[in-house]
Structure 1
């Protein structure tokens, strides 16, 4: 059924199920919009010949958010009024700038509740920066800049891996349906959330430092999904979360008047930045001497210089 058809019969559904009247009408309409978008994406994948993955029904225990698209909420002095729910005391971690357009109430896996505002505002123009940098993301170091600076890999998952393994053993040993199993599951989820929060915070802080310094930031356009098929590296690649870092950097750059450029990663590690010759290397070769021009350089910095050069070439 189309979105138009489900919107038409929503009134009839509310007559058949009086409990739906306890939910704001726009929240109900937004649920129908989510279902419509899920099926549109499903049919698009079918036509593209991909593995489509049929949309999954979400029961009350799996439904973790609801949205007020335009009306039904009001923010006033530390309290959030939600239609059909009431006044909720909130911790506003920073002032809301601009005009609030939508509100999504989201429940985290550990039971925390968040109010996520979507706002429209005109950012103040930032001073233009002429500096440019190429960034090579990696596993030994999180990232290497073309000027030789390195950002260390925090390895968040490795730090909590033992604690997570211990919690998962307790969960697998707990009897199904008991309070002990519920408690053990909550501990596992809490550790996963802690790792994710640390990773996200690191990506935000690191991207802010890069955006504040450089006007043009060049990354490789990596196929992360394909790279994670290497079972020896999949866990490490997932832990560094390169896509998250590049995406957040792009968002901050747009607001700060900077620009993120993505380039083809082919041969950026094998080509030497001085003479342009291709010299094959394995992953274990961290420092290499070029037999053609004599250049000796850190492997990742050489790649970062090539990335910067490709970014500048793509800009003419």
Structure 2
């Protein structure tokens, strides 16, 4: 079982320069590798492998001695990224999609490098990177398991992070928790409505910082390109976006932790958010809500918490009556469910959440159900 750990790095000015230089050289290797494989196909009609491009590195190091400043396996991993990008492109083509061909990376558009096996070591409060040095690292929690890979990433605001991929023994799967079952209907007016009637407010992180973002973008638009003032204005815009993303990420983790600690069965709708974003009237609000992030974080936490997450078909969950099953058509503006058959009157989202829970229960085999369910 693989697990990821992410820690903040605090490099010195000299170390930061070396890391920036490493990113630039990796970007050069990426573009050269992509150009070589592209030309081989277009001019000679042959496909090249990752190992063929690995054999080009010694000659490139002779032509460009600066490449010796980078650990050899880091450069090989850069070529592996090209290989993965091309494989993903052809896989999507065969599937009938219309993907874009892998693009060359411009200056500033390459933000991470990877040590796939060796070249790094954790010391007392330091991370030793080959060709770079000992960098101060904030180890806010212990690392459990065997470290297999390290990726050093630079954020848009210039912060550096170390991301460790760790291999651990598969822990025994906990028994299904004898807890409550719950259906969750996500929305825009309320972020989520639970089948027990509880509502979770929509924090609207982007909307709350939209004024500050607009102000920063106006200042950016007035700065001439290529000036130091424009670079500083870009940093301000990036910090606002980073603050919004961090708040949204923290909210999703807190909410998912509460769900898996309280409920044994958690049922969500399997929403096609990509299609929903085509409605430009609500696309910004849907993106701001980040429903998929909640489902993802809840799913992987449930595996180790003894809970179970089920996704169900969202069709007609808002239209059907949760008591008698009669279809009661209603528009988005209708916020109250009123059944003409059985007389049930309740909140529209709560009615949908109850239907979601019912579908989740029906999708489980009898042998898979917890005794308490």
TM over 0.5: yes
> How much does 1:127 deviate?
5.7
Change (3 A) 1:60 1:185: closer
Q: Which of 267, 289, 302 is the matching residue for 2:338?
A: 289
Name the SS for the 1:291 alignment partner: coil
Q: Which has the higher contact order (CA 8 A, sep 6+)?
A: 2
Structure 1 residue 21 corresponds to structure 2 residue 68: yes
Structure 1 residue 197 corresponds to structure 2 residue 246: yes
Structure 1 residue 128 corresponds to structure 2 residue 176: yes
> How much does 1:211 deviate?
0.8
Equivalent in the alignment of 1:86: 133
Counterpart Cα distance in 1 of 2:351 and 2:62: 68
Change (3 A) 1:170 1:29: same
Deviations 1:145-179 (A, max 9, x none): 11111111000011100010011011111122222
Which stretch has the larger CA shift, 3-12 or 187-196? 3-12
> How much does 1:248 deviate?
0.9
> How much does 1:16 deviate?
2.6
Deviations 1:180-203 (A, max 9, x none): 111111111110000000000100
Gaps of 5+ in 1: none
- In the alignment of these two chains, the number of paired residues is 316
Counterpart Cα distance in 1 of 2:264 and 2:49: 45
Structure 1 residue 7 corresponds to structure 2 residue 59: no
Q: Which of 285, 289, 310 is the matching residue for 1:236?
A: 285
> How much does 1:42 deviate?
1.1
Counterpart Cα distance in 1 of 2:51 and 2:185: 47
TM-score of the superposition, structure 2-length normalised?
0.82
Name the SS for the 2:128 alignment partner: strand
Counterpart Cα distance in 1 of 2:187 and 2:304: 26
Structure 1 residue 298 corresponds to structure 2 residue 354: no
Equivalent in the alignment of 1:96: 143
Q: Which of 63, 75, 97 is the matching residue for 1:50?
A: 97
List structure 1 runs of 4+ shifted beyond 3 angstroms: 122-128
Gaps of 5+ in 2: 1-47, 366-373
Name the SS for the 1:135 alignment partner: strand
Query: RMSD of aligned C-alpha atoms?
Result: 1.4
> How much does 1:14 deviate?
2.4
Name the SS for the 1:88 alignment partner: strand
Contact 2:125/2:138, CA 8 A, preserved across alignment: yes
Structure 1 residue 223 corresponds to structure 2 residue 259: no
Q: 1:206-217 maps to which residues of 2 (within 5 A)? A: 206-217=255-266
Contact 2:176/2:308, CA 8 A, preserved across alignment: no
Equivalent in the alignment of 1:64: 111
Counterpart Cα distance in 2 of 1:38 and 1:301: 43
Structure 1 residue 176 corresponds to structure 2 residue 225: yes
Name the SS for the 2:138 alignment partner: coil
Counterpart Cα distance in 1 of 2:339 and 2:139: 56
Q: Which of 261, 276, 284 is the matching residue for 2:310?
A: 261
Equivalent in the alignment of 1:188: 237
Counterpart Cα distance in 1 of 2:172 and 2:229: 53
Deviations 1:247-282 (A, max 9, x none): 111111122222211111110110111101111111
Name the SS for the 2:224 alignment partner: coil
Name the SS for the 1:90 alignment partner: strand
> How much does 1:20 deviate?
1.6
Equivalent in the alignment of 2:29: none
Structure 1 residue 165 corresponds to structure 2 residue 214: yes
> How much does 1:284 deviate?
1.2
